Amino acid sequence: MTHAYPTKVLYIDMTKKSYKTVERPELFAQYLGGTGAAIKLLDEHCPAGIDPYAPDAPIIFSVGPLTGLFPLASKTVAMFKSPLTGNLGESHAGGRAAQAIRMAGYGAVVVTGASDLPVYVAIHGSTVHFRDATSIWGMKSLFTAGSIIRAGEPGAGVRSIIRIGRGGENKVAFGSATTETYRHFGRLGMGAVMGSKNIKAFVISGERSIPVEDKKKYRDLYDQIFKAAVGSPVMKKYHDLGTAGNVRTMQGLKAMPTRNLQSGSFEHAEAISGESLAEKYLGRRLACAHCPVGCIHIAAVREPYENESYFYKTTMVGYDWELIYALGSMLGIGDPDGMLLLIDEVEKVGVDSMSAGVCLAWATEALEKGIIGEKETLGLKLAWGDWKTYIKATEHLVNQPNDFYKALAKGSVHAASIYGGADFALAFGGNEMPGYPTGPASYLGFLLGTRHSHLDNAGYSLDQNAIKSGKALTPPQIVDELIKEECWRQILTSLCVCLFARGVYTPEVVRGSLEVAGYSLSDEEILALGKTIYRDKYAFKIKHGFDFDALPKPARIFETPSPTGPFDLAFIDEGLAYAKKRIGALLAG
């Protein structure tokens, strides 16, 4: 039988500037692709104890068997050793990267080595070029670097350009990589790992066909998924307001992370809400390749030039919930223009918006409390709401002109380990928090989730259910639910399905789409595979130093009132002890 899943892995050696393609059908037959294939490849290439910036440390990109076949399978999974946490780095990006990698003929790309000079890597179908990027290294904005690469490369319309900014070049531990201007491998520092290898960008393109054995079944299932996607109220919500719609929800729950989570309520929430931004700023919506939803919201921000009348600069700034929380309410910024301009700055330099926002929020509180002074901030009077000063601080964070900013560029936990203030450094497992401080299930999810993404675990929705029903779960109940859901989501992320579409990709649709792609797996086998992938990720984490007993929990999360009601350290510790036992048993087989 013909199968429609990918078989090829592209190996790129940046030191030798050479490449080879290896047929590995068993990898995709056994692990599907995405997260499943990536963790295998990462484990093959990333030995315990390796420095995340060592030339031998790999970057893995992986796509799924449904990419190019069905809508919404548009994510690319990247894995690497995170310079921020020193452990498993997993970051997923939308845009056109997944389609481009698959259409270029690959299921995965493994990048090792380091180039002597800045280069960008152009992958067009079966050919890889190493192009000199010295002239665009250190460029102020990664948008400009992107447009220069765009002008010189083929593949318009079917290519992806994954590039870093100064954040990645200067090895800010949470330096990100941007694809198609508005999508990111945002979290955990993949941009910094690219920077350490002297890679400014990857350009990838290709146009292929993927043969399908049962054409009728393919078309019918395609139409079923397409109809479910365009008819779903959840998808409409993502199209209309996008995740920015969460502002009102979170404010309503009193879970709006405000001024370094000193409060769950922000008095200017309405001004930066999805409704308000859509009404006053929304200029365009964009979609990832092969996704009918179009959840990417772009604001048009108009700024007058100071000395010239009737002359304006219009900047198109992407926004969503995570950016609004991290660079808005978390910093006390309620002026939407200011918030959008700060977002634009963070985008131009190429650092993770959540880590950047949380680090600046920690620094602001540290300055308020006198733990640090203006000697450390180089004269900047960081103050809630003062977005102009935060723009200047972002420049310092990226350029690292003194020891303080050097420390902050390694993350809030690292900075707090030097200056103090760990109780209000809002990071979990070394990674700054996502914007869902709804209660204990969320925090256990941040601490135990293998990807450090709220999207991979059910913590937020468990808290929401507890709030609605008034029935609190015990720590073991929470952990059981988190593990169960995360195992299932390993299947979705191995298929590279966007987790916004998890309601469309029901177990039945997953089984059917896998059949079209040439697999023959029962529901039980699919669930077992999810568990295996989850186990493999934990095995990697533990091999690289993850310790259930050594996870810091900032005291702030127990102090700020939680919408689920109060909970304490003992509650969280009970959950972690139970998880250690359960995951230990899973690893022991």
Render 509-541 in DSSP notation, one character per residue: HHHHHHHHTT----HHHHHHHHHHHHHHHHHHH
98 binds another protein (CB under 8 A): no
Segment holding 495, helix H or strand E? none
Among the listed residues 208, 174, 196, 510, the one whose alpha carbon sits nearest the alpha carbon of residue 349: 174
Residue 290 makes contact with another protein by CB under 8 A: yes
Structure tokens at 474: 């015990």
Sequence letter at residue 546: F
147/506 with CB nearer another protein? 147
Least CB distance to another protein at residue 522 (A)? 24
Instruction: Give the strand pairing for 159-164 and 296-304.
Output: unpaired
**Residue from 63, 133, 291, 361 that binds another protein (CB under 8 A)?**
291
Q: Which positions from 15 through 74 interact with another protein, judged by CB under 8 A?
A: 68-69, 71
Q: How far is the CB of 476 from another protein (least distance, A)?
A: 43
Residue 54 or residue 509: which is nearer to another protein going by CB? 509
Of residues 301 through 360, those in contact with another protein by CB under 8 A are: 316
Residue 348 CB partners (closer than 8 Å, separation 6+): 140, 141, 142, 143, 165
Nearer to another protein by C-beta: 157 or 470?
Answer: 157
174: amino acid identity, one letter: F
Among 23, 26, 116, 157, binds another protein (CB under 8 A): 157
Q: Is 127 in the site for another protein (CB under 8 A)?
A: no
Q: Please choose, out of 99-107, 112-120, 443-451, 570-578, the segment that lies near another protein by the rule CB under 8 A.
A: 99-107
Window of 153-161, 319-327, 376-384, 548-556 that interacts with another protein by CB under 8 A: 153-161
| Alpha helix (H) residue ranges in 46-132 | 97-103
User: Which one, 287 or 418, has the nearer CB to another protein?
Assistant: 287
295 — phi, psi (to 5°)? -90, -5
Q: How far is the CB of 191 from another protein (least distance, A)?
A: 19
Q: How many residues bind another protein (CB under 8 A)?
A: 44
Nearer to another protein, 63 or 427 (CB): 63
Can residue 109 be called a binding residue for another protein (CB under 8 A)?
no
- Subset of 163-222 contacting another protein (CB under 8 A): 180-182, 207-212, 215, 218-219, 222
152 binds another protein (CB under 8 A): no
| Element (DSSP H or E) covering residue 153 | none
| CB half-sphere exposure, 348, CA atoms < 13 A | 17
Nearest to 365 by CA among 247, 263, 442, 255: 263
Cα–Cα distance measured from residue 266 to residue 247, given in angstroms and rounded to the nearest whole number: 10
Q: How far is CA 8 from CA 52, 94, 336, in A?
A: 26, 21, 46
Q: Which of 425, 334, 348 is nearest to 391 (CA)?
A: 348
**Least distance from another protein to the Cβ atom of residue 82, Å:** 27
Which residues in this chain contact another protein in the complex, by CB under 8 A? 4, 68-69, 71, 99, 102-103, 125, 143, 146-147, 150, 156-158, 180-182, 207-212, 215, 218-219, 222, 226, 230, 284-294, 296, 298, 316
